[in-house]
Amino acid sequence: MNVIPIELGERSYDIEIESDSLSRVGVSLASLGDASRVVLITDDNVEPLYGEVVSNSIVDRGLDLDVAVIPAGEESKSIEVAYELWNQLLNLKVDRRSIVVALGGGVVGDLSGFVAATYARGIRYFQVPTTLLAQVDSSVGGKTAIDLPQGKNMVGAFHQPCGVLIDPIVLQSLSVEQYRAGLGEVVKYAASLDADFFEMLENNVDSVVKRDPDILARIVARCCQIKANVVSQDERETSGLRALLNYGHTFGHALETVVGYGKLLHGYAVALGSVLAAKLAFRLASRGDERFKEIDQAWIVRQNNLISALGLPTTLQELPSIVGFEPNIAPENLVALTSTDKKAVAGKLNFVLPVGLGKSELVRDVAVEDVLAVFN
Amino acid sequence: MNVIPIELGERSYDIEIESDSLSRVGVSLASLGDASRVVLITDDNVEPLYGEVVSNSIVDRGLDLDVAVIPAGEESKSIEVAYELWNQLLNLKVDRRSIVVALGGGVVGDLSGFVAATYARGIRYFQVPTTLLAQVDSSVGGKTAIDLPQGKNMVGAFHQPCGVLIDPIVLQSLSVEQYRAGLGEVVKYAASLDADFFEMLENNVDSVVKRDPDILARIVARCCQIKANVVSQDERETSGLRALLNYGHTFGHALETVVGYGKLLHGYAVALGSVLAAKLAFRLASRGDERFKEIDQAWIVRQNNLISALGLPTTLQELPSIVGFEPNIAPENLVALTSTDKKAVAGKLNFVLPVGLGKSELVRDVAVEDVLAVFN
C-alpha cells in the first residue's frame, strides 16, 4: 500500500492508495477509533457498482451503518440535497462520534464533506473517491462545497477528511468522458507545478489512454503527493501557494457556469481553462511582461498537444459538439463570469498563469481587455 | 473602553465594551485592515433603531456598504434565509476581503456568522450585538448556526468573528422579555462557573432589574471575560471545558423544540433548563452520588430565588402562560428531544450539572429514568 500523509497538525490524515482496496474501507474506519456509527453517502451510479463491497466491509467491522443515495450529477451539489442529508443525519441521531463516508466522485465528496462540515458544527468524514478527478484532486485537501445557481462552489467550508482510501482499479469502470475529465486535472498538476510529471505524461500517452493499471497508480500517487505538499503548506489558500492548484479553474468555472452545471464536466472545463490561461500568459508576454517570457508559441502547442492527445478540447469551438447545444460564449459574457470567481478580490480579475513548464503564478489585477482578447 | 482579548492564535480578536460606541463601528472595521466592502446584516426590529448610526460610521470611514435586513425572530435562523443571504452576497460580488457585520441579537449573529463561515468557504464577520443575550454569550466564541425543523443549531460552523463591539447602552431599548431572556444566560455563567458573580447578582437584584448602566456594564464584561477564558482554552468544545457553557441548555433546547422555535425565548429556556439540571443533580445526590453532594435543597432554592427575582420561570407549569398555549411537556416527549442535542453521543444522555456554587461538570450517560423523574 502506498501511504501519503497530509501533515496538518491535529488535522493530519493519510491517503491510502492500493488496488482492490474497497473491501478494506471498514478496516480503515475502525482504525480511526471512537466511531459509533457510519453513514455512507453515495450516488445512484456508484451504489450498484461498489455499494455492497464497501457496506459489507463496514458492517464486518461491527460498525452501525446507514446508507444515503443521492442522484448522480452536479445538480446534487445543491442546498436542497444538503438539506435532505442534514435532516437524514438528524433523524438517524448522528452525533459527533459518527463518521460520514463519501463513496463516489467529486459531487458526492464535495457535498458529503460540506454536510459533515456543518452538521452539528462539524463531524468526521472519510473519502472513498471513485472517479479519476476525485482521486487526484477533490477528495484531498478539505475543500467542501455546494453550488449556488450563479456560482459554483460558492457555499462551502474548509474541513479536512479524517482519511482517504483510493482504489485505482475502480477507474476501469469509468465512462470515457468521466475518465478524460479526470485527466484534465492531471494535466493541470503537470503543466502548472511539475515539469517532470508533464514529460512522463507526454511519454506515456498511449498507456494513459488505455488505462494501464500501473500508469494509473503512478499518476494518482503523483497528483496526491503534489497536492499533499501544497495543502500542508497552505491549507486555507492564504499564502498564494494553494491558489496555484486553481490553474485553469477561473476560466473553467466561467465556462461551466455559462454552459450550465453538469452539462460540461469539470475536467473538460479545466482543460479548456488551461489552454485559455496559456493564451493569456502568451499575450502578456508578447507585450513585454518579463514574468511570462518562457510562454511562447511552442509552450502553448506543447500543452495543447498533450491535452488533445488525452481526448480533451483545446478550443471554445469544440464546446457545442461536447455539450450538444450552442452556449453563449460571447467574450463579454465570459469575462463577467470570471469576476465572480472566489479568487476575485474587489472585482479585480485574478488568474493563475503559467510562467514555464511546471511553473505558475497567481497574477492579480489582469486588464479586462486582455481577458476579452483571449476569448476572441 | 474595556477591551477583552480572545486569545486564539491567528484567530485572536478583541471584544470592545463601551457605552455609546455604535458610532465607532466604522473605526473598528477600518482598523482591521484590508477591507474592501462591508455588508451589514440586521433585522427589521434593530434597523430602525441603530441602522443609521452604524451605517454612517462605516461610510464615514470610506468603506463600501450594503445593508441586508431580515425578519426579526428565530424563524430567520433557517436555511431559506441563509440561502437568500448567500445569493445576495454573490450578487454584490462580495469577496474574501469583504466583511459581514452582524448588527442585532443572537439570531442575526448566529445566522450572519454561518453565512460568513460558508460563503466562499469563509469570509470575515464582525459582531455588534444589541441584546443582552448576544452581548454576554452568542456574539463571542465563534459558534454559528441555523436551525433544522427538528433541531436547533443543528447546522453550523465554528468560525470566529474578527471583532466584537458591545454598546451596553442599547440594552435600555430592549423589551422586558428580551432583557429577561439575556439574564437567563447571565445566571447560567454565575451558577455554573463563578460563585463570586452569583453573589454579586444576588446582592444587586434591584439594580439589575432596573437596568442600572454601571451594573449592566459590569455584568456584560464579567460574562465576556468568563467566556473568553473558556473559549481560549477549548475553542471547539473538545476538552469538555467549553461544554460547561451549555449549563441549562440540553433541557433548554428540548423545551424550545417542543414549544416551537421563537415561541419561547432562548434565555427563558436556559433558565428553566438550569432549574431542571439542578433537580437532576439533586436526585443523583440523594442516591448517593458523591459528585453532587453540595447540591442540596438549599442550593436549589438559592438558584430558584435568583432566577425568580430576575423575572424568569422556575417551573414547567409556568410555560403555558409565557407562550400562550399548552405545549406537549409530557416527560417522554421531552426526554426524546434531549437525546438529539449536539452533546449527545451515541444516543446517551449527557448533561452539564452543578456540583457546587459556580462549579459544574459534564456528566455522561445519565439514565433515562432519572431524566424522566426530573420532568415529572
User: Residue A87 and residue B149: Cβ atoms within 8 Å?
Assistant: yes
Q: Which of A16, A47, A74, A185 is catalytic?
A: A185
Q: What is the pLDDT of residues A15-52, one digit of tens each?
A: 999 999 999 999 999 999 888 799 999 999 999 999 99
Decide if A2-173 and A176-373 have a common fold.
Answer: no
Residue located via cell numbers 477583552: B4
**In the structure, what pLDDT confidence band is assigned to residue B262 with cuts at 50, 70 and 90?**
confident
Shortest CB distance from A83 goes to which of B79, B119, B143?
B79
Q: Where are the domains of chain B?
A: 2-173, 176-373
* 3-state DSSP of A152-176: EEEEEEECCCCEEEECHHHHHHCCH
Shortest CB distance from A346 goes to which of B97, B154, B342?
B97
Per-residue pLDDT tens, chain A, 376 aa: give them.
899 999 999 999 999 999 999 999 999 999 998 887 999 999 999 999 999 999 999 999 999 999 999 999 989 999 999 999 999 999 999 988 899 999 999 999 999 999 999 999 999 999 999 999 999 999 999 999 999 988 889 999 999 999 999 999 999 999 999 999 999 999 999 999 999 999 999 999 999 999 999 999 999 999 999 999 999 999 998 899 999 999 999 999 899 889 987 789 999 999 999 999 999 999 999 999 999 999 999 999 999 999 999 999 999 999 999 999 999 999 998 988 887 656 555 557 889 999 999 999 999 989 999 999 999 8
Report the candidate in A313, A285, A261, A73 with the shortest Cα–Cα distance to residue A152: A261
How big is the CA angle at B322 (ends B320 and B326), to the nearest 5 degrees?
20
Q: State chain A's mean pLDDT as an integer.
A: 94
Q: What is the pLDDT of residues B118-140, one digit of tens each?
A: 999 999 999 999 999 999 999 99
Respond yes or no: is residue A159 known to be catalytic.
Answer: no
Distance (Å) from the alpha carbon of B20 to chain A's nearest alpha carbon: 32
Asked if residue B271 has pLDDT above 90, the reply is: yes
Q: State chain B's mean pLDDT as an integer.
A: 94
Respond yes or no: is residue A227 known to be catalytic.
Answer: yes
Shortest CB distance from A148 goes to which of B90, B236, B347?
B90
CATH number of this structure's domain B176-373, picked from the four choices 1.25.40.10, 3.30.110.60, 1.20.1090.10, 3.40.50.800:
1.20.1090.10
Eight-state DSSP code of residue A142: -
Higher per-residue confidence, B176 vs B261: B176
Please, are residues B273 and B341 in contact by the beta-carbon 8 Å criterion? no
A244: Cβ contacts below 8 Å, ≥ 6 apart: A192, A193, A230, A352, A360, A361, A362
**pTM for this predicted structure:** 0.92
Q: What is the pLDDT of residue A342?
A: 61
Give me the torsion for CA of A11, A14, A20, A21, rounded to 10°.
Answer: -50
User: Which of the residues B118, B124, B338, B364 would you substitute to probe the A interface, choosing the one with the greatest number of A C-beta atoms within 10 Å?
Assistant: B118
Q: What is the pLDDT of residue A13?
A: 97
Residue A37, chain B, CB below 8 Å: the answer is yes
Q: What is the pLDDT of residues B16-26, one digit of tens each?
A: 999 999 999 99
User: Which of the residues A78, A92, A118 would you substitute to probe the B interface, choosing the one with the greatest number of B C-beta atoms within 10 Å?
Assistant: A118
Q: What is the pLDDT of residue B285?
A: 96
Nearest-by-CA chain A residue for B336:
A93
Share of chain B above pLDDT 70, in %: 98
ipTM of this complex prediction, to 2 decimal places = 0.90
Query: Which of the residues of B are catalytic?
Result: 121, 143, 185, 227, 237, 242, 246, 249, 253, 266
A300: Cβ contacts below 8 Å, ≥ 6 apart: A275, A278, A279, A282
Please, are residues B272 and B311 in contact by the beta-carbon 8 Å criterion? no
**In the structure, what pLDDT confidence band is assigned to residue B349 with cuts at 50, 70 and 90?**
confident
Asked if residue B206 has pLDDT above 90, the reply is: yes
**3-state percent breakdown (helix, strand, coil) of chain B, nearest 5:** 55, 20, 25
Q: Which three cell numbers stand for residue A194?
A: 511539475
**In the structure, what pLDDT confidence band is assigned to residue B46 with cuts at 50, 70 and 90?**
very high
Average pLDDT over residues B325-344: 81
Eight-state DSSP code of residue A239: S
Q: What is the pLDDT of residue B337?
A: 83
CB pairs under 8 A between A and B: 101
Amino acid, single-letter form, for residue B113: G
Asked if residue B148 has pLDDT above 90, the reply is: yes
Shortest CB distance from B90 goes to which of A143, A154, A157?
A154
Q: What is the pLDDT of residue A173?
A: 94
**3-state percent breakdown (helix, strand, coil) of chain A, nearest 5:** 55, 20, 25
Amino acid, single-letter form, for residue B48: P
Q: What is the pLDDT of residue B244?
A: 96
Instruction: Considering only CA atoms, give the Rg of chain B.
Output: 20
Q: What is the pLDDT of residue A345?
A: 54
User: Residue A117 and residue B157: Cβ atoms within 8 Å?
Assistant: yes
Which B-chain residues 78-137 have CB contacts (< 8 A) with chain A? 79, 83, 86-87, 90-91, 93, 95-97, 117-122
Higher per-residue confidence, B75 vs B348: B75
Q: Which of A77, A124, A222, A253 is catalytic?
A: A253
Which A-chain residues 262-281 have CB contacts (< 8 A) with chain B? none
Q: Which three cell numbers stand for residue A15?
A: 491517503
Q: What is the pLDDT of residue A151?
A: 84
Q: What is the pLDDT of residues B286-304, one digit of tens each?
A: 999 999 999 999 999 999 9
Which A-chain residues 306-345 have CB contacts (< 8 A) with chain B? 339-340, 342, 344-345
Distances (CA, A) of B288 to A268, B226, B275: 69, 31, 20
Domain B2-173 falls in which CATH fold? Rossmann fold (3.40.50)
